[in-house]
Amino acid sequence: MALTDAEIIRLKKLLHEQEVHEKFKALKFPEDDNSTINYRFLHEAIHSQKWGVNDKGVPVLESGYAGVVLEGSSRSSKTWGGIDIIIHLSTQVHKNDGCTINIYRETYNEFKTTLYEDFKRRLPDFDLPNKFEDAQEVKSFKIGKSTINLLGDGKHGGGCDYAFFNEAMMIRKEVFDQVEMRCRRFWWMDYNPSFTSHWVFDNVLMRLDVGFLRTTFLQNPFISSGELNKILSYEPWETGSYEIVDNLIMYNGHEVTETNQPPPNIKNVNAGTADVFMWKVYGLGLRGAMKGVIYSNVTWIDEFPTDLSFTYGLDFGFTVDPSALVRYTRWGNNIYCELLWYSPTETAKDMDEALLACNVSDLIPITADSADKYVSERKGVVQMVRELFDMGWEISKVSKTKGVTYWINDTKHYKIHIVKPKNPLTYRAVKKEQENYKWKEVNGIAINQPIDKHDHFWNAMRYAHMGWEIDNLQVSVE
């Protein structure tokens, strides 16, 4: 007997309700075959927390993770797992009392090209209200009694029960610190490891109360065939010919280098899609040199040339940021530079002592930072330069006749040689800046404006270059 139209509609509704019920059940009782590894890790971390109260009646975490870091390749389900945890917290854990969940990105506008679309796709799977359908602006929305806030541009957003730092590589440490202090229950972050050095690696992953999980796209059972094929197209070497050991790509028992290469992936090489960086970061989920690095090719040398005249460049740092002093010369098509000082100097007296410690001659010009309008009068660059000049140093503010981008590109016309510092900490500082100073990106497209990070050494080098070029400095070392 055939079903009536009404019965068919009713059956479809029942089947849909059963499907939604199963999805909610999968959030509550995640298993290997119905959820992603990132979601299971977050779920376990949250539900394993043990809370008590101190003698003042304030809740304290007695055991378990305070937060979790999800590191991995593109399409490894890191963000998707975070969205599912938000749905689980809102509809199951805090169904009756509600909670506040703050999500952070570097800028608010970045939500529109990322999480907007993810929430738009995922919320209907659970028959939840979807403010992201054709929305222009969604800065806050509700799931049940819970409130989810989307925050960017360095906004802390006040207290919250849970905090999610999406693409944490681009979020400042000060923002994380402020949010963590105001987060009452649990926080987590995700990112593609596109930096070689970062505050997350140095200050977060080392903590015993922080969980860590690294994943790749191969651990996402729900990845589409198109996404899978796109990432696989980046692989530059023959599949299975190499192995990953402690964040290193190994071939024949040794780290892969220019001279120790696995067999090429012929298909990808011939198609022109093979890309070492893209495969390392977005395929393997490993920490790799930043894409868009401004000075990607430099030569490390042992000694500064002894037979050439030179000058100095100085970038000021007062409390947290370091002052950077660089010795500089140009000969033909080559720039030579050496980092002599890399530490904060709060006063002119501190800088005077640093210059003396570095054996700087008071006869050789120093071209210094001139960004006085961005700092206080008490610690202003103008005052620093004036006081150092009065102390007898041949120092002057850089004449910014052209923009930063112009002078960066001007230095890139030359082969840059950097003296490798003998002090391991100083060498690490220079290497960190060389690997991480990069152009800004807007929606994945690089623009001609540098990110204001990892630039102290490079600023000092650029000031010296500007002084050399503008004033045609040719100073005798005698």
Q: 291 lies in a domain?
A: no
Residue range 273-285: mean pLDDT, rounded: 85
pLDDT score, position 289: 59
What gap in Å lies between CA 187 and CA 373, rounded to an integer? Answer: 37
Dihedrals phi, psi of 345, to nearest 5 degrees: -135, 105
What gap in Å lies between CA 318 and CA 245, rounded to an integer? Answer: 40
Statement to judge: residues 270 and 308 lie in one domain: no
Residue range 389-399: mean pLDDT, rounded: 92
Residue range 293-314: mean pLDDT, rounded: 91
Statement to judge: residues 242 and 319 lie in one domain: no
Structural domains counted in the chain: 3
Please name which of 257, 256, 261, 265 lies closest in space to residue 233, comparing C-alpha atoms. Answer: 265
pLDDT score, position 377: 44
pLDDT score, position 477: 33
Q: 410 lies in a domain?
A: yes
Is pLDDT above 70 for 357? yes
pLDDT score, position 207: 94
pLDDT above 70: percentage of residues in the chain: 93
Least confident of 125-134, 178-187, 240-249, 446-455: 446-455
Residue type present at position 321: D
Longest Cα–Cα distance in the chain: 107
Q: 24 lies in a domain?
A: no
Q: What is the residue range of 392's domain? A: 299-471
Residue showing tokens 């690095």: 293
Is pLDDT above 50 for 283? yes
Assign residue 142 the CATH number of its domain.
Answer: 3.40.50.300
Assign residue 327 the CATH number of its domain.
Answer: 3.30.420.280
Residue type present at position 288: G
pLDDT score, position 459: 95
Q: Is the dihedral of CA 87, 88, 89, 94 positive or negative?
A: positive
Statement to judge: residues 166 and 77 lie in one domain: yes
The 8 Å CB, 24+ separation contacts for 357-360 are: 358/325, 360/312, 360/325, 360/393
pLDDT digits (tens, 9 = 90+) for 55-93: 888 899 999 999 999 998 888 889 999 999 999 999 999
Chosen domain end from 170, 185, 218:
218
pLDDT digits (tens, 9 = 90+) for 429-440: 898 898 888 888
Q: For strands 146-151 and 243-245, give the pairing.
A: unpaired
Statement to judge: residues 447 and 347 lie in one domain: yes
Q: 170 lies in a domain?
A: yes
Is pLDDT above 50 for 23? yes
pLDDT digits (tens, 9 = 90+) for 399-427: 777 888 889 989 998 999 999 998 888 88
Statement to judge: residues 398 and 425 lie in one domain: yes
Statement to judge: residues 211 and 229 lie in one domain: no
pLDDT score, position 255: 85
Q: 79 lies in a domain?
A: yes
Q: 13 lies in a domain?
A: no
Residue range 18-23: mean pLDDT, rounded: 93
E runs forming strands in 64-137: 67-72, 100-104
Mean pLDDT rounded to a whole number for the chain: 89
Which of the four pLDDT bands, split at 50, 70 and 90, describes residue 373? very low
Q: 4 lies in a domain?
A: no
Which of the four pLDDT bands, split at 50, 70 and 90, describes residue 476? very low
Statement to judge: residues 265 and 304 lie in one domain: no
pLDDT digits (tens, 9 = 90+) for 317-338: 988 889 999 999 999 999 999 9
Residue type present at position 158: G
Statement to judge: residues 268 and 354 lie in one domain: no
pLDDT score, position 442: 63
Q: Is the dihedral of CA 150, 156, 157, 161 positive or negative?
A: positive
pLDDT score, position 292: 76
Residues 186 and 61 sit within 8 Å (Cβ to Cβ): no
Is pLDDT above 90 for 366? yes
Is pLDDT above 60 for 478? no
How wide is the angle at C-alpha 284 spanned by C-alphas 281 and 289, nearest 5°?
A: 25
Please name which of 140, 160, 136, 138 lies closest in space to residue 149, comparing C-alpha atoms. Answer: 140
Which of the four pLDDT bands, split at 50, 70 and 90, describes residue 291? low
Statement to judge: residues 321 and 206 lie in one domain: no
Which of the four pLDDT bands, split at 50, 70 and 90, describes residue 223? confident
What gap in Å lies between CA 188 and CA 172, rounded to an integer? Answer: 15
Which of the four pLDDT bands, split at 50, 70 and 90, describes residue 472? low
What gap in Å lies between CA 367 and CA 311, rounded to an integer? Answer: 8
pLDDT above 90: percentage of residues in the chain: 60
Cβ atoms within 10 A of the Cβ of 163, count?
27
Helix (H) or strand (E) holding 445: strand 445-450
Statement to judge: residues 259 and 345 lie in one domain: no
pLDDT score, position 473: 46
Please name which of 37, 35, 49, 32 lies closest in space to residue 210, comparing C-alpha atoms. Answer: 49
Residue range 283-304: mean pLDDT, rounded: 81
Which of the four pLDDT bands, split at 50, 70 and 90, describes residue 380? low
Residue range 17-32: mean pLDDT, rounded: 92
E runs forming strands in 120-247: 140-143, 146-151, 160-166, 183-191, 210-215, 243-245
Which of the four pLDDT bands, split at 50, 70 and 90, describes residue 128? very high
What gap in Å lies between CA 257 and CA 468, rounded to an integer? Answer: 37
How wide is the angle at C-alpha 223 spanned by C-alphas 217 and 225, nearest 5°?
A: 110
Give the three-class secondary structure for 8: helix
Alpha helices in 282-339 (DSSP H): none
pLDDT score, position 372: 47
List Cβ neighbours of 248 (8 Å cut-off, separation of 6 or more). 255, 256
Q: 25 lies in a domain?
A: no
Residue range 294-305: mean pLDDT, rounded: 89
Residue type present at position 6: A
The pTM of the whole model exceeds 0.75: no
Residue range 270-280: mean pLDDT, rounded: 89
Least confident of 214-228, 336-350, 382-396: 214-228
Residue 430 corresponds to which tokens in the numbers above?
Answer: 């220079």
Statement to judge: residues 269 and 129 lie in one domain: no
Statement to judge: residues 270 and 321 lie in one domain: no
Is pLDDT above 90 for 190? yes
Residue showing tokens 């992953």: 205
